[in-house]
Structure 1
């Protein structure tokens, strides 16, 4: 009986330790990428005025291509397109808070979709007539990095679909 109790206690310790290491590894990965970027802050909301030449020095190439050159990741390839974990999404370029997971919905479009931004001014909009289409581009309200596009086919209450690139987003799960 003591051996069974010991094995159960040891299993619980190993499982808890593994979960803590996994969460710690996720946080370290995010912080390592963000720490190479002196403009990244989850608390500063002051508008940034940084040249693309400077962004190119501090951002990973895939993020730079999407955020600063308006590229788009392939549908169903981003890490957040089908995630349902509770938490907050931030701009991967500057750390600005953008969306809460409770505004995320399954749109089946292949990119993470939200029906509203976290607060007024967290995102800004610009007309986009590229690729023979008329769309509205969504950009970070702090650093003006490209996040994706907004459409009028979302769920109530806003009927909006913020169709975002996963690479442009950082995520922090709720504790």
Structure 2
């Protein structure tokens, strides 16, 4: 009589060791006998955050992923860090980039030029004076109209959503040097 693994009814696994690092369990089966398996490794918040910090993702990426998953940017940072701890680097980067792409698309579909309350990234990190300075900078120092200020708010928001915070920060730094009194 031959017995296959699929026909075996393993005895319910019992938690053997649940320390901070590893959750392991012992499985008993008539076919394979008693085997200890590692079910999962858990990482601390600090380890996950440090993994996020070592990645190339920034606050605005975490903010977008947080809006996508309806969680805080901090929880998104931990999610990103967790991917890099559990997966090979390129697999983790592909997973995060795929989610980030979906999050960006969803965000960009919800923003409206004529509705400043939809510009959540701009509203979270920048103020009216920043928009005025950048509008002036992007219009070669000329006096700006309310329409151009609104364009500036929208451009800031869309640029952040596309992951180019450095461009906004450099432009704002130059604008402050040129046009602040």
Bin for the TM-score computed over the shorter chain:
under 0.3
TM-score (norm 1): 0.27
Higher relative contact order at CA 8 Å, sep ≥6: structure 1 or structure 2? 1
Larger helix proportion of the pair: 2
Larger strand proportion of the pair: 1
TM-score (norm 2): 0.26
